Amino acid sequence: MPTPFRKISGGVCAPKGFLANAVSAGIKNPDADRLDLALIYSEKPCVAAGTFTTNRVKAAPVRVSQAHLRDRDVQAILVNSGNANACTGVAGIEDARKSARTVAKSLGLRQSQVAICSTGVIGLPMPMVRIEPKFAPLVEGLAPKKGTDVAHAIMTSDTQHKEISISLDLDGHKVKIGACAKGAGMICPSMATMLCFITTDANIGKTCLDKAVHEAVENSFNRITIDGDMSTNDSVVVLANGESGMPRIKPRSKSYRLFREALEFIALEMAKSLVRDGERVTKFVTVKVNGARTYSDAKKVAEAVANSALVKSSWNGNDPNWGRIIHAVGYSRAMIREELIDIHIGAKPACLGGLEAQTPMNELRKIVAKDNFTITI
């Protein structure tokens, strides 16, 4: 079924009123000239929402941004690659705060109106001596067509930049949503070593935006895994400036449902792009769980299967070993009955009622030899 969204160009700069810029600061390597410091800025006040890593070891920028988002009106996002500013103690917190404060002053904002995010090597101090001189040109170069530069600047082990933007009609007004993301390793549900920035010119309140963002993240970034490792810097930040001119989106309205659907579409496309670009990834596998007693049980089963090193190694070797799948289902701590478990590989049954199905093994091997297939439990 066709979606009510139309893909457009522009990334985070596609929505009205958003500017961006990216520069080279030599953060990881002073001799390199790659883009590694970026800024996203709304010319108008924003409503902001976000989600962050659930790892108890949190990077300095995560702690600072979490505090800033409580003030509700973040209007800019400062982000760097090459250094995670994680496990850097009090000095790391102060570097993050100072960076936000300096950029905020240049933009005429309060420090708390700037979210700050970092990605890269853990445990090294931020090379502020190289970063600070770049803040002025970063702000001065803000422009409406530099969304792709931001997508490039946040890359670390990514092999390609990741961005998307769409247009949709809400209450008779054209509304745009744009996004960019990075991530290729340390990817696991409950957020991962990934960053995602989403901008929109929709007119939406804080309560509605918080709800929409958390639902979108739960159905996208919290459902992916590559290596089963959770990072210290995961951040999703969403800015909405209302510049589309539409009336305020009301809770439980048709406009809210469509906006949430659009936001989830954006987040899911970004999440899929992270998996496809994962470090040493050879296949894109979707695990579907039907018939569970609860959503929680379904999620436990899906995560147990998707995170199993044995299961993933069999898929990598083109081996349709359903025994490894059912053993992961069994230890998932979900409420199950062995005699009711069916496992399909692609459209072919591999296990029915907890017993081997009669599908020839060669047919199952052909399915798992593909780059993209689905496991249904």
CA distance 273 to 162: 7
Question: In angstroms, rounded to a whole number, what is the distance separating the alpha carbons of residues 301 and 307?
Answer: 10
What DSSP letter does each residue of 65-111 carry, written as one string? HHHHHTTS---EEEEEEEE---S-HHHHHHHHHHHHHHHHHHHT--G
Catalytic, out of 193, 199, 200, 225: 193
Residue 25 one-letter amino acid: A
Where do we find the tokens 């081997």? 356
CB 146 within 8 A of CB 21: yes
Buried b (16+ CB within 10 A) or exposed e, 219-245: ebbbbbbbbbebbbbbbbbbbbbbbbe
Q: Structure tokens of 357?
A: 């199905």
Q: How far is CA 63 from CA 94, 124, 207, 217, in A?
A: 11, 17, 21, 19
- Paired tokens of 43: 């010319």
| Secondary structure letter of residue 152 according to DSSP | H
- Region of residue 204 (left: phi > 0; alpha: psi -120 to 50; beta: else): beta
**Which neighbouring-strand residues pair with 37?**
23, 80
**Residue 5: closest CA among 271, 180, 265:** 265
Q: Is 193 a catalytic residue?
A: yes
Q: Which residues contact 115 (CB under 8 A, 6 or more apart)?
A: 48, 50, 65, 68, 69, 74, 76, 77, 78, 100, 235, 237
Q: Find tokens 């989600």 and name the residue.
A: 51
- Where in the sequence numbering do the catalytic residues fall? 193
